[in-house]
Amino acid sequence: MKFTFAHNNINVLDIEKSIRFYQEALGLEIQRDKTSSDGSFRLVFLGDGVTGHQLELTWLRDRKEPYNLGDNEIHLAVVVEDMDAAHAHHEQMGCICYENHGMGIYFIVDPDGYWTEIVPKR
């Protein structure tokens, strides 16, 4: 029996703002977009155009309060070829939330407080 990754899901309060963030910050593009017939939820799947792995953004119409992310130790991670250009881009966006110079990595934070680790291609 073999399992392969399909997607990770995060719930967001403002789906349009989140889509724009992931498009600008990571170059992800919409692969699929589904709104329920009653408008109570919307699912947007974003992909990098290289791997099959997707990020699913879930918006729930009736949710108004921010999600409790606990200690926020769960995060996404992406690899980038040009770490300096990526860092400059994210610095300009103002979304860098933590840097570990010793490990050569940093994290960005999205509008809902979710972190993404930026790792240089090695």
Please state, in angstroms and rounded to a whole number, the distance separating the CA atoms of residues 52 and 22: 16
pLDDT tens digits along 66-118: 999 988 788 999 999 999 999 999 999 999 999 999 999 999 999 999 999 99
- Known catalytic residues are 117
The CATH topology of domain 7-62+74-120 is 2,3-Dihydroxybiphenyl 1,2-Dioxygenase; domain 1 (3.10.180)
The answer on pLDDT for 52 being more than 80 is: yes
Number of other residues whose CB lies within 10 A of the CB of residue 7: 15
Q: Which long-range contacts (CB under 8 A, 24 or more apart) does 34-40 make?
A: none
Confidence at residue 73, expressed as pLDDT on a 0 to 100 scale: 83
pLDDT tens digits along 15-39: 999 999 999 999 999 999 999 999 9
How distant, in Å, are the alpha carbons of 42, 62, 75, 112 from that of 37?
10, 15, 31, 25
